[in-house]
Structure 1
Amino acid sequence: MEELTVSRWRKYGKDRLYVSTLGGVRVGWHDLLTDETSVEATADRNAVMAAIVHWRENASPTAEKIVVTQREAVPPAAEPALGDPLTAIKPHEPTAMDVETASTSTESTAPQTSPPSCHDPAAAVEDWEDLALRRAGAEAREQAVALRQAAPVKTFLARVLRVHTDERAWRIGADGEEKVARQLAIPIERDPRWRVIHAIPVGDRGSDIDHLVIGPGGVYSLNAKHHPDAKVWVGGNTVMVNGQRQPYIRNSRHEAERASKLLAAATGQPVVVTGVLVIVGADDLVIKQAPDDVHVVNRMRLGKWLQARPDALDETTIEAVFQAARRSTTWRPQTQNATQPKS
């Protein structure tokens, strides 16, 4: 495993160490009050344990974050001695009610092997991609790259002449999703209970969810719309961008409803997902009347907006939903409604 960071988090009556890769992928945690430790199934257990031991032995009382290098880590064979609080560490066995946490900066498309869902003991083991490791804008960026590679000269000339093409639309969209991801890092840094998954492919018709945010304030599907220097006007279900009507509210509503159904099916419990339209790069955003069931938020206000959400979910529910959401199989069930519009 690469070098790890150990960050201390003290809020809401908890005092925990969160262990992550330098890329930001969370691989485990240790509670300093209860000595409970969780190591993600996809992580190197010994490396995570070594990082925690290194922090306990070397961090100053005021240290909030340290980096543990390979040289500093204890050898894999060096298990904690009997009586050490870390002997209570057990490898994390992911179920639908017990999830791994992950950040958002590393993309992986390698299939993973998943245990059966806890509400369906007879379910067969299946291959799945860990969506928690996907980068923001991954789906849009792939589309832009494919179009550029298919017509490199045409793409180059279009950029020089500033012609609006499908390649440009996908590229600008990916840029917007990356900007939103950076804003989402704010609530996550301040409260690790928040989780985010980016670029979730849904169904088999090219639809995707730009960002799914899960935390104490609820579950939100974020639809990022990047309109550099544009004027955006919102009136109920109507969104106008430079005077042109856009179906953003309808799409965001459909996206949230679809996510709610798929997550409920995966977890075996009701999951309320709220749609959020995130406006990126606009020169002017006027909300004359907010939609009834979709929030419209300027990208620069997104972090504070999420932090202001009243607590609605406990940690058990947050982890259950995250565990289901990170599995690619959750979003591509065998039976799908082919008449649903592309979001």
Structure 2
Amino acid sequence: MPETATGPDGPDPALAVSWSLEQRMPGQGVIEHLLALQGQQRPRSFLHRIFGIDPLAAGSHSRYNGALGEIAIGHLLTALGPDWTVLHAVPVGAKTADIDHVLIGPSGVFTINTKNHSGQSVWVAGHVMMVAGRKQRHIENARYEATRTAGLLGRQVRATVPVAAVIVIRNPMTLTVREQPIGAVVLTDQQLILRMLSCRPSTRSAK
């Protein structure tokens, strides 16, 4: 049953706590949005089905690939064991934004931003990330998610809660990290579990 926390100016939707969070599946937010988009499309005709015409609506492919990535990482996270609480597709704010995964365990609190860049070259140097030669905002977005989560948790428990941002690149052709960004860690899906079991979140604030 949802419970809404109260801030200094009254009920704050951004602080809403749902006891069903642990029941949310990986990629749930993306899947719900994708299904809504698909529900607006006309059904494929018999000939379209025969010739294998793509059923996805225009602009839906990135969401579909994103959902596949979140599902794959969610499956990997089951290896963390019972000492960890793993939450998927955690809603933040009053709109449709969510955090792919939030981990709470012996090593600290982490937000995980999953990126499905299968077969692509990824290059990282400090605050710059390039995917297939194009600059991306994954680092800035991941740090924002961690900062926001730390703020929300801190207001709930009335204490400082360090939260580390993790960016997981699923199945890249190559991942070259010249320098890890401040306030975030970039790694592959194959490195994820070992890293979570061995590291502690940075106490440096994300900038």
2:136 corresponds to = 246
Structure 2 counterparts to residues 79-158 of structure 1, below 5 A: 112=1, 128-153=18-43
The TM-score with structure 2 as length reference comes to 0.81
Question: Against the structure 1 CA distance between its residues 152 and 273, is the aligned structure 2 distance closer, same or farther, given a 3 Å change threshold?
Answer: farther
Deviations 1:17-74 (A, max 9, x none): xxxxxxxxxxxxxxxxxxxxxxxxxxxxxxxxxxxxxxxxxxxxxxxxxxxxxxxxxx
State the Cα distance separating 1:128 from its structure 2 match. Answer: 3.7
Alpha-carbon distance in 1 for matches of 2:104, 2:195: 14
State the Cα distance separating 1:115 from its structure 2 match. Answer: 10
Alpha-carbon distance in 2 for matches of 1:164, 1:238: 32
State the Cα distance separating 1:193 from its structure 2 match. Answer: 1.5
Alpha-carbon distance in 2 for matches of 1:161, 1:115: 42
- Residue of structure 1 aligned with 2:163, choices 247, 259, 273: 273
State the Cα distance separating 1:247 from its structure 2 match. Answer: 0.3
1:229 corresponds to = 119
The TM-score with structure 1 as length reference comes to 0.50
Deviations 1:142-167 (A, max 9, x none): 1111111111458x79x846999421
Alpha-carbon distance in 2 for matches of 1:261, 1:132: 20
State the Cα distance separating 1:274 from its structure 2 match. Answer: 0.8
Structure 1 residue 178 corresponds to structure 2 residue 68? no
1:259 corresponds to = 149
Deviations 1:163-200 (A, max 9, x none): 99421111111110011111111122xxx221110001
Specify which structure has the bigger relative contact order, considering alpha-carbon pairs within 8 angstroms and separated by 6 or more residues: 2
Q: Secondary structure at the match of 2:178?
A: strand
2:205 corresponds to = none
State the Cα distance separating 1:140 from its structure 2 match. Answer: 0.5
Aligned residues: 189
User: In the alignment, residue 270 of structure 1 is paired with which amino acid?
Assistant: T
Alpha-carbon distance in 2 for matches of 1:219, 1:185: 16
User: Structure 2: which 5+ runs fail to align?
Assistant: 203-207
Structure 2 counterparts to residues 55-94 of structure 1, below 5 A: none
Question: Against the structure 1 CA distance between its residues 305 and 311, is the aligned structure 2 distance closer, same or farther, given a 3 Å change threshold?
Answer: same
1:47 corresponds to = none
State the Cα distance separating 1:243 from its structure 2 match. Answer: 0.9
User: In the alignment, residue 80 of structure 2 is paired with which amino acid?
Assistant: P
Alpha-carbon distance in 2 for matches of 1:282, 1:195: 27
Alpha-carbon distance in 2 for matches of 1:171, 1:259: 25
Query: In percent, how many aligned pairs have the same letter?
Result: 30
User: Structure 1: which 5+ runs fail to align?
Assistant: 1-111, 118-122, 313-343
Q: Secondary structure at the match of 2:69?
A: helix
Q: Do 1:143 and 1:167's aligned partners in 2 also have CA atoms closer than 8 Å?
A: no
Structure 1 residue 205 corresponds to structure 2 residue 95? yes
User: In the alignment, residue 182 of structure 1 is paired with which amino acid?
Assistant: H
1:193 corresponds to = 83
Aligned-pair Cα RMSD in Å? 2.9
Deviations 1:70-123 (A, max 9, x none): xxxxxxxxxxxxxxxxxxxxxxxxxxxxxxxxxxxxxxxxxx165999xxxxx9
